[in-house]
Amino acid sequence: MTSYGSGSDLVYLSATEARRLFEARELSPVELMRAVIDRAEKVEPVVNAFTERLFDEALQGARQAEDRFLGKGGLAPRPLEGIPVATKEKHAIAGRTLTEGSLVNVGTVATENAPVIDRVLDAGGIIHARTATPEFSIATFTHSRLWGVTRNPWNPRFTPGGSSGGAGAALAAGTALLASASDIGGSTRIPAAFTGTVGFKAPYGRVPGVAPLSADHYRGDGPMARTVDDCLAFANVLTGPDPRDHVSLRPKLVLPTAYDPVAGMRIALCVRLGAYDVHPEVEANTRDLAQALRDAGAVVEEIELPWTREDILKCLAAHFSTIFGALVSEIAAEHREQMSAYAVAFADTMAVARERISYLDGLRAETALQRELGEAMAPFDALICPTSAVPGLPAGDDLLGRLVVNGEDHGEPLWAPMTIPFNINNRCPVLNVPSGHCSWGLPTGVQIVGHTYDDATVFRIGKALEQLRPWAYTPDHQPAL
């Protein structure tokens, strides 16, 4: 195979373009993997996205992928053949550590692969690194006592978000072409927004998960990438039923790769979601993106939702205290001294919530919000709104008090991300795409929200926005690391 471009050119290739170059024998999977590894060695001391490096195994996998593209051994290339994929540490790999960022779990070794890991490997993806999360993946930032602070490549004073912060940081830093993520309250979309990448929260059941939290209807695993096409291709690999997950949907959905333009579509714009105080720069970028859709022939109408903070808090308190919070509380009962301050605070808050609100109370609140969203969206094909009310969060801050950034008080940290309403409405597919940049040196993002299980529509709009307002990682548009 011939040599292609410089290391910088290679590491910011899209996965779909890399796959095309492999097929054309213009690029070797080995050359690409070496460039990604070299990039990681250079930037990881600043970014700290990786918890484990599997570089030797990855180079061997790249050699095997090269043989497939050269026709050796009679094996055809698979959908992700030769593509460097960073996977979230919580996505278990048999025989490797499974700590979820907690000192409590040091020494724990996974006994089988998570379903998303099997999907990556079966598709020919090469897992070259595992990515950092906050402890137990419970926060909107990424740092822990076990792994230290993960930083945003666009501005290291800020976090890349959480809980899939290592995934977003790796994509933005050029140390992965694809990354696995998960989302129970925004853990895919928040880091995608803060790092200028693309993240897909699939509808509940679309991507198989791991028991017992696979039964939690707020959560789900999914793909992150730098382009919509890459995110779509990765989603097509990850979706489909798995016998280990009773709620995984059949038949497997295969999304189309080509879509009609947005002309004639009806799209709702909701800036505040009823309850959020949105930073002026985030709002401006969101409105600019809405105008781009109008200019392309879509009908964009601004709406407001009747949601209140009290409504959303009822859902959160009842749901998280009953399931995820109860799990963390069990751990805190025995291992409190080994846990991060934010993990302990989460466990304690959930213990109080369990005494004050029932799961049934939460279901009543959830179904009210779900109906209100359904009725508001009924005249439209989709809805767009900001992903975060503020452009970024400070790196290394446990966010246990007020959110103070750049000397400005932005209120309670809970109301920074605008993602949780769509975990409450978790049958809706949601795609984060970049909406622009802010004066903090960070990207901003918008959520494209579809009707229940209408995945194709959010990708249709996402692909249009990528053409209308390009965010490609070109030499003049990438972090200065």
Residues belonging to the active site = 88, 163, 187
Q: Which two tokens stand for residue 338?
A: 């080994």
Phi, then psi, of 413 in degrees rounded to 5: -55, -25
The H or E element containing residue 368 is helix 359-377
Give the single-character DSSP code of 77. P
**CA–CA distance from 283 to each of 192, 384, 386 (Å)?**
17, 12, 7
Write out the two tokens for 229.
Answer: 């096409």
- Beta-carbon neighbour count of residue 309 at 10 Å? 13
Quick one: angle between helices 341-356 and 309-322, nearest 10?
100
The three-class DSSP label of residue 131 is: strand
> Contact 369/274 with Cβ under 8 angstroms?
no
What DSSP letter does each residue of 276-338 carry, written as one string?
----HHHHHHHHHHHHHHHHTT-EEEE------HHHHHHHHHHHHHHTHHHHHHHHHHHHGGG
Q: Which two tokens stand for residue 6?
A: 């410089």
Q: Give whole-number Cα distances, 313 to 27, 271, 349, in Å.
A: 51, 19, 12
- Paired strand residues for 385: 447
Closest among 164, 168, 152, 200 to 393, alpha carbons compared: 152
Give Cα 179 distance to the centre of its chain.
8
- Give the contacts of 341 (CB within 8 A, at least 6 positions apart): 398, 400
Q: Which residue, among 159, 187, 144, 169, has the nearest Cα to 342 in the 3D structure?
A: 144
470 Cα distance to chain centroid: 20
